[in-house]
Amino acid sequence: MRCEKMMVKKRYLQVNEELFREHPEFLDPAAPSLEGKLAVVASVMPGLVAAAAEKAIAEWGRPAEDITHLVFATSSSAQLPHIDLRIASLLGLSTTVQRTVIGFHGCSGSSAALRVAKDIAENNRSARVLVACADMLSVMDGYLVPNVVAHRYGIIGHAIFGDGAGAVVVGSRPQEPVERPIFEMVSASQATLPGSELAVAAELTNFGMEYRLEFGELAAGVGDNIERCLIDALSPLGIGSVGWNNLFWAVHPGGPKVMDNFTAALRLEPGKLAPSRQVFSEYGNMVGPTLIFVLDEVIRRRQQDHEEGSCEWGFMVGFGPGFTIDVMALHACSGEKMMVKKRYLQVNEELFSVHPEFLDPAAPSLQGKLAVVAGAMPGLVAAAAEKAIADWGRPAGDITHLVFATSSSAQLPHIDLRIAALLGLSTTVQRTVIGFHACSGSSAALRVAKYIAENNRSARVLVACADMWSVMDSYVVPNVDHRYGIIGHAFIGDGAGAVVVGSRPQEPVERPIFEMVSASQATVPGSERAVAVELTNCGLEYRLEFGDVAAEVGGNIERCLLDALSPLGIGSVGWNNLFWVVHPGGPRIMDTFTAALKLQPEKLSASRRVLREYGNMTGPTLIFVLDEAIRRRQLDHEEGSCEWGLMVGLGPGFTIDVMALRACSGKSTPTPRIKSSL
């Protein structure tokens, strides 16, 4: 068995010539060696684990004495007191730390330990659980000098096994800003395949750990059962059909054949198990701690903006003796508070070289900023509108009305005139400018377009919305006193979106996607200053009290939605039976929105993805979310099965705009139609 076939490039092993000189019995297949091997593990492993744990605690950000629980997993040691006591001492943990040893789970050591840690943390709000896992199979191996004929398992082990230790910190209710969770462990499950007890097996003998590895049987067990296990794991979460390629994956590699069968069974894209393959290549199969290494590699790749960084949900999968499959559903936390990975901004070095006053907080700059917007925004909007018109399917000359919304411009004539000229719209097109609605710009414009279309049967309304707050921001160079500016710099971006609205579609050219059934608006009394903006000599100065806004959303959203549905004669409705197009605002707003309506976690996936990929573009953001919702429906995501949905805009006031949407069947309908494209 060649090592190249096993796909392992390098490993880290505790065995060496010095060890064999001290313990020659390790090389004698007839000499009992268990006692000596256990002694070596007891001596070396605590330091190995402590080094990994120190790194985990440092990244966690709080002192070691704040650790309340230690869960330690290994299949390479058997002693009393166990190694966990020595680890706690080396780390300087409190003498009251509660210690638990997870023993002899093999490759599922990490997943078992994390499952226990999850339960501890959820049952003890202030608990901080250090999970550590280590194995040293190179020392404990009962086949240190395997016979090619008799010990084929030993030959396999020598090709793939390595030594290692990994650690993570688990808790609930993070203390911001010190604690910054990366993943939420949403659910944990385990399944044992009947009749597979000997596919992966090991026993402690006089010579160490002797194991049985039927990789063909193991790989077949994975291929035949993994999808059912994952679906069963999703079932309690109330999540229906899911595209496996829309998730990130932290999977114990096992071996090459196991990963290949896993990939084939779920029809995964080749790169989905890249973290698992990377760890296996660089470290081999370290048995228990391997899964923590894979999790660390997943995090590293997300931080470096690899493809899997765009996935909000994922699975951690461990394989162990039994044959056992451990599954844990993971949800990516909002990371650096704002959850924004990238944005598109109009400001750059060239702009600042032309307008140095933009960088001087004391210099009046409004006039220059408005001039920049007037120069750049028409082209930005025209590009979005051209795509919307192309998707609509009729010529631009058939557009009868233009409704344009922005909070980033103030001039006469307005930018809408230039947009109409760039698009080649008719000189008789009726233009309406919706001004200074900020984040509710799109919802306000769509509401007006709905009324126009319902009152003019042949009307075709181009709705366009754009904002360029990176230019108009009066806090281009915020200091610590400008906390609203700091917040804005963290998540606000620039963008433009467009859709076409009309009634009585001309088939087969016009193919409506959603009917806009009703529109309503509610202003929360006494909330006028939760979101506020004013035009100053230096640009737009804004006040963003996210705590206030999130509280207003949580306290009022269900009542507003029920009031919006009431005129439709719709009684009790299950919020999870709807699709959702919601302006994301910020992570805390979405979390509060989800909690208030008891939504399944994926219901706001479109909103979270847009915030992550584009930031909060204020006005046009809701059109981007609408486009993402349509894209997901076309890709047959879960939300594609919902006939009814709600589009929700949040704006200054504090104002909540609600529009009831109904998915079109493709048949002719007299109600307004909306087609979104960016």
In this structure, which amino acid lies at residue 533? V
> What DSSP state is assigned to residue 209?
E
What class does CATH assign to 349-677? alpha beta
Cβ neighbour number for residue 305 with a 10 Å cutoff:
11
Task: Encode burial over 654-675: b for 16+ CB neighbours within 10 A, e otherwise.
Answer: bbbbbbbbbbbeeeeeebbbbb
Asked whether 639 and 459 are in contact (CB, 8 A), the reply is no
pLDDT digits (tens, 9 = 90+) for 613-629: 888 899 999 999 999 99
Partners of 185 in the beta sheet? 330
Residues forming the active site: 107
Asked whether 1 and 159 are in contact (CB, 8 A), the reply is yes
Structure pTM?
0.56
pLDDT digits (tens, 9 = 90+) for 464-502: 999 998 888 765 554 444 444 445 556 678 999 999 999
Partners of 315 in the beta sheet? 249, 329
| pLDDT average, residue stretch 495-521 | 91
pLDDT on residue 140 = 82
Tell me how far apart the alpha carbons of residues 545 and 136 are, in angstroms, rounded to a whole number: 52
Partners of 100 in the beta sheet? 71
Mean pLDDT of the chain: 83
CA contacts within 13 A on the Cβ side of 669: 21
Q: Where are the beta strands (DSSP E) in 104-163?
A: 128-135
Tell me how far apart the alpha carbons of residues 420 and 433 are, in angstroms, rounded to a whole number: 12
Confidence of residue 225 (pLDDT cuts 50, 70, 90): confident
pLDDT on residue 148 = 47
214 contacts: CB under 8 Å, gap ≥ 6: 198, 199, 200
24 contacts: CB under 8 Å, gap ≥ 6: none
Tell me how far apart the alpha carbons of residues 327 and 330 are, in angstroms, rounded to a whole number: 10
Confidence of residue 343 (pLDDT cuts 50, 70, 90): low
Residue (of 252, 246, 306) closest to 277 by Cα position: 252
pLDDT digits (tens, 9 = 90+) for 373-386: 999 999 999 999 99
pLDDT digits (tens, 9 = 90+) for 141-160: 765 555 544 455 555 666 67
Of the two residues 167 and 333, the one the predictor is more confident about is 167
Tell me how far apart the alpha carbons of residues 539 and 109 are, in angstroms, rounded to a whole number: 57
In the predicted model, is pLDDT for residue 97 greater than 70? yes
Residue (of 378, 344, 338, 335) closest to 617 by Cα position: 344
In the predicted model, is pLDDT for residue 522 greater than 90? no
The alpha carbon of 38 is separated from its chain's Cα centroid by a whole number of angstroms, namely 42
Between helix 441-455 and helix 621-634 the angle, nearest 10°, is: 70
pLDDT digits (tens, 9 = 90+) for 601-615: 789 989 988 988 888
Q: Could you tell me the fold of the domain covering 3-332?
A: Peroxisomal Thiolase; Chain A, domain 1 (3.40.47)
| pLDDT average, residue stretch 338-355 | 71
pLDDT on residue 637 = 52
pLDDT on residue 338 = 42
Helix (H/G/I), strand (E/B), else coil: 174 = coil
Helix (H/G/I), strand (E/B), else coil: 555 = helix
On the 0-12 / 13-18 / 19+ scale of CB atoms within 10 A, 574 is exposed
- Considering only the C-alpha atoms of the chain, give the largest distance between any 2 of them, rounded to a whole number of Å: 98
State the first-to-last Cα distance of the chain, in angstroms, to the nearest integer: 54
Alpha helices in 398-506 (DSSP H): 415-423, 441-455, 469-472, 483-491
Residues of the chain with CATH 3.40.47.10: 3-332, 349-677
